[in-house]
Amino acid sequence: MSAPIPSESVRAFFAFHLKRNREEKGWSRPELATMAHISGNLVAGIETCSRRPTRRLSRILDETFGLEQFFEALYPRVIEETGLPPGLAEFIEAEAEAGVIKIYENFVMTDLFQTEEYARAALRADRPPNRVDRLVAERVERQEMLWRDSPPMVIALLDSSTLRRPFGGREVMRAQFEHLLTLAELPNVHIHVVPEDAGLSPGGAFTLLSSAGEPGSAYAESAGDRGRLVDDAAYVAELDHLLDLIRSKALDTEDSQVAILKALEEL
């Protein structure tokens, strides 16, 4: 992969100067990763523009290189360049750093599980093509966390209606179900299907983010790709209790895989 050209984008500018500062110090990528307490894959991903930096990482890089407000000052411009709503951008940053991600989804497959074709079909209806392209690319990039060296634990509760609501036609749904079954085999991914007779009405999709030793946060989705990231302890606890209730009514992981396989066979 060719080196990013710094004049092409803010993200490429960030990548170029990360590599420049690292090489001026005479550090390899693994050496920088060790000093900054991050993974070597993350350093490589940012230098090649295949991973997007977070605010926390930007601050760590400034501290590691002995810089004052260089990478951290660039970070808001990186976010602006994505064109994402502020609430969604804030959530994606927090999601990337979470150790545990708990999801309840009642309309479509959760973003982290969508194939590119399914995502494009689900987003296409009411958005201009250039916005669809940006959102699809963002989702594909976010999904890389599921396969990284130290992935988050993901517990996803999918309402059974997400298996019946078609996006993109039969072949797109077939690929989506096959992808879902592949993800279900990962040790860090736990998928639960919530049956129709669960007798629950949670009101909307939401995600809970947490890491050891840190306060949790919640993201409540809303229309227009917007939402809000909330760290109010009482609200987070309320949603956590709701998620536990939904999970108690959901199928276990084995029966959920059977339900997904049945949906695939019925296409």
Domain ranges of the chain: 10-81, 85-265
Question: pLDDT at position 224, please?
Answer: 63
Average pLDDT for 32-43: 88
Average pLDDT for 225-240: 87
Q: Do domains 10-81 and 85-265 have the same CATH topology?
A: no
Question: pLDDT at position 225, please?
Answer: 64
The region of weakest confidence among 99-113, 138-152, 242-256 is 138-152
CATH superfamily of 10-81: lambda repressor-like DNA-binding domains (1.10.260.40)
Average pLDDT for 200-228: 83
Handedness of CA 4, 9, 15, 18 (dihedral sign): positive
Give 223's pLDDT tier (boundaries 50, 70, 90): low
Pick the residue with more confidence: 115 or 149?
115
Classify domain 85-265 at the CATH class level: alpha beta
Chain segment 6-28, per-residue pLDDT in tens: 889 999 999 999 999 999 999 99
Candidates 95, 122, 97, 108; CA nearest to 207 is 95
Candidates 149, 153, 3, 17; CA nearest to 72 is 17
* CA 124 vs CA 171, 202, 247: distances in Å: 17, 26, 31
